[in-house]
């Protein structure tokens, strides 16, 4: 531990490490909300389809639309993680 | 990048290709060539399919007709309605072109989705963007269209302070951005996923060829290749259906 700390003190260039941590935090944070959201969308679509199988086509189209709108936020995070550079 | 003693290529190696000919300004690389091939493939497919039209379709005409039927029943009737039938050619072109550009991701020898570079999704989005705004101007008139967007009916007067800026940002900035970035990021993510598992499989194969059957290597690579076919189709479908939703919204204002 002390050895690592001493090395860190003598080698002040920590930018690549911080960049990597930042990328991980950006994508990880951006994926939380859409993960929950897509789960809600698909779960409710499945229960709607099983209650009324005759409306399955309409529900499926709307489900894909909902997934697309929800997923966009996670994808912004994915792109932003690549844009971040040290 | 070196993770767990496996050398992964940096992202620039995964998506940047060297210029084959054409100089600095109009350089043509593999991605542009694949895009040209997609144009030729879509054009040739529909020309061949419509050459000998029969009442009972066989072969390639059957495939083309089921594609048109999918656009008509699966997209237009669900989003725009009966009066959107004029948009079958436009939406069919968008769907076919985006799908062919995506499917290069898993075709051996090409293995590069054209939409994994932002240029093509952004250009397609600009076409869609001008298309649905011009449809709105034509159907409703310039000022009525913007009034319908900025001041949606049925909202209490005081809330317009909050709603109008959000609607303005949504319509001018966030809709086209999310349409382009959705397609781009999905294809880029799929491409990187396939590269990751291909690199893992190749490294294990080089160490000792029997251990390539370890979990998370070659079988997952094969399964993900199948999954990417689904993603390529789904992203083309979502791009087309969102185009149809935006056109439908411009044609039918809320009451």
Q: Which residues of A touch B95 (CB under 8 A)?
A: none
Q: Which fold has domain A38-86?
A: F1FO ATP Synthase (1.20.20)
pLDDT at A4 over 70: no
- Region A32-53 average pLDDT: 94
E strand intervals along chain B: 2-3, 6-7
Alpha-carbon Rg for chain B, nearest whole angstrom, is 22
Give the percent of chain B with pLDDT over 90.
39
Q: How far apart are the first and last CA of chain A?
A: 26
Enumerate residues 219 to 238 of chain B having a beta carbon within 8 A of any beta carbon in chain A.
234, 237-238
- Residue B165 is part of which domain span? 2-251
Contacts of B145 (CB under 8 A, 6+ apart): B133, B136, B137, B139, B250, B253
Q: Is the dihedral of CA B7, B8, B10, B16 positive or negative?
A: positive
What region, left, alpha or beta, does residue B216 occupy, with left being phi > 0 and alpha being psi -120 to 50 degrees? Answer: left
Mean of the per-residue pLDDT values of chain B: 87
Q: Is B184 on the interface with A (CB under 8 A)?
A: yes
- Region B144-153 average pLDDT: 85
Mapping DSSP onto H, E and C, the string for B185-199 reads HHHHHHHHHHHHHHH
- The pLDDT tens digits of the residues spanning B60-75 come to 888 999 999 999 988 8
Asked if the Cβ–Cβ distance from A75 to B186 is below 8 Å, we say yes
Q: What pLDDT, on a 0 to 100 scale, did the predictor assign at position A58?
A: 84
pLDDT at B145 over 80: yes
Asked if the Cβ–Cβ distance from B184 to A79 is below 8 Å, we say yes
Q: Is B72 on the interface with A (CB under 8 A)?
A: no
Q: What pLDDT, on a 0 to 100 scale, did the predictor assign at position B88?
A: 93
Q: What pLDDT, on a 0 to 100 scale, did the predictor assign at position B172?
A: 85
Sorting pLDDT into bands at 50, 70 and 90, what band is B247? very high
Highest mean pLDDT among B28-42, B162-176, B208-222: B28-42
pLDDT at B158 over 90: no
Q: Is B78 on the interface with A (CB under 8 A)?
A: yes
Sorting pLDDT into bands at 50, 70 and 90, what band is B226? very high
Tokens standing for A41?
């969308």
Q: What pLDDT, on a 0 to 100 scale, did the predictor assign at position A2?
A: 64
pLDDT at B44 over 90: yes
Of A57, A61, A75, Cβ closest to residue B182: A75
- Region B12-41 average pLDDT: 86
Of the candidates B82, B88, B94, the one whose C-alpha atom is nearest the C-alpha of residue B70 is B88
From A5-9, B30-34, B155-159, the region with the lowest mean pLDDT = A5-9
pLDDT at B51 over 80: yes
- Region B14-27 average pLDDT: 80
- What are the φ/ψ torsions at residue B9 (nearest 5 degrees)? -70, 145
Of B182, B188, B234, Cβ closest to residue A72: B182
Of the candidates B198, B179, B28, the one whose C-alpha atom is nearest the C-alpha of residue B106 is B198
> What's the number of domains chain B is made of?
1
Q: What pLDDT, on a 0 to 100 scale, did the predictor assign at position A50?
A: 94
Asked if the Cβ–Cβ distance from B182 to A64 is below 8 Å, we say no
Q: What pLDDT, on a 0 to 100 scale, did the predictor assign at position B17?
A: 83
Better pLDDT: B96 or B1: B96
pLDDT at B92 over 90: yes
Sorting pLDDT into bands at 50, 70 and 90, what band is B42? very high
ipTM of the modeled complex: 0.74
Q: Is A61 on the interface with B (CB under 8 A)?
A: yes
Q: Which residues of A touch B245 (CB under 8 A)?
A: 65
Q: Is the dihedral of CA B13, B14, B15, B17 positive or negative?
A: positive
- Region B27-56 average pLDDT: 89
Element (H, E) at B33: helix B30-49
Of the candidates B82, B98, B100, the one whose C-alpha atom is nearest the C-alpha of residue B90 is B98
- The pLDDT tens digits of the residues spanning B131-142 come to 999 999 998 888
Contacts of A67 (CB under 8 A, 6+ apart): A38, A41, A42, B238
Q: Where are the domains of chain A?
A: 38-86
pLDDT at A84 over 90: no
Hunting for tokens 């895009």 — which residue is that?
B35
Enumerate residues 10 to 29 of chain B having a beta carbon within 8 A of any beta carbon in chain A.
11
Say whether B21 sits in a helix, a strand or coil.
strand
pLDDT at B154 over 70: yes
Q: What pLDDT, on a 0 to 100 scale, did the predictor assign at position B253?
A: 77
């Amino acid at each position: 531990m002390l050895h690592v700390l001493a090395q860190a003190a003598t080698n002040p260039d920590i930018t690549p490490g911080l960049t990597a941590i930042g990328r991980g935090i950006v994508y990880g944070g951006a994926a939380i909300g859409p993960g929950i959201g897509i789960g809600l969308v698909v779960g409710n679509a499945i229960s709607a389809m099983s209650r009324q199988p005759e409306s399955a086509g309409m529900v499926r189209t709307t489900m894909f639309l909902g997934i697309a709108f929800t997923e966009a936020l996670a994808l912004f995070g994915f792109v932003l993680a690549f844009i971040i550079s040290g | 990048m070196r993770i767990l003693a496996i050398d992964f290529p940096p992202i620039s190696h995964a998506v940047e290709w060297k210029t084959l000919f054409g100089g600095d300004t109009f350089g043509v690389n593999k991605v542009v060539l694949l895009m040209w091939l997609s144009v030729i493939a879509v054009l040739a497919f529909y020309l061949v399919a419509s050459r000998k039209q029969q009442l009972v379709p066989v072969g390639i005409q059957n495939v083309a007709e089921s594609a048109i039927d999918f656009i008509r029943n699966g997209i237009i009737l669900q989003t725009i309605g009966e009066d959107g039938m004029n948009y079958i050619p436009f939406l069919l072109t968008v769907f076919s072109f985006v799908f062919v550009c995506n499917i290069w991701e898993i075709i051996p020898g090409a293995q590069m989705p054209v939409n994994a570079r932002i240029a093509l999704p952004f250009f397609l989005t600009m076409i869609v963007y001008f298309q649905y705004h011009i449809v709105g101007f034509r159907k409703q008139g310039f000022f009525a269209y913007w009034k319908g967007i900025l001041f949606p009916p049925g909202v209490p007067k005081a809330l317009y302070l909050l709603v109008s800026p959000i609607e303005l940002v949504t319509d001018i900035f966030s809709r086209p951005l999310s349409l382009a970035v959705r397609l781009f990021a999905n294809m880029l993510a799929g491409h990187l996923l396939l590269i990751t598992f291909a690199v893992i499989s190749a490294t294990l194969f080089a160490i000792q060829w029997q251990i390539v059957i370890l979990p998370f290597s070659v079988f997952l690579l094969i399964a993900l290749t199948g999954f990417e076919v689904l993603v390529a189709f789904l992203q083309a479908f979502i791009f087309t259906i969102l185009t149809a939703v935006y056109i439908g919204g411009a044609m039918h204002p809320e009451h």
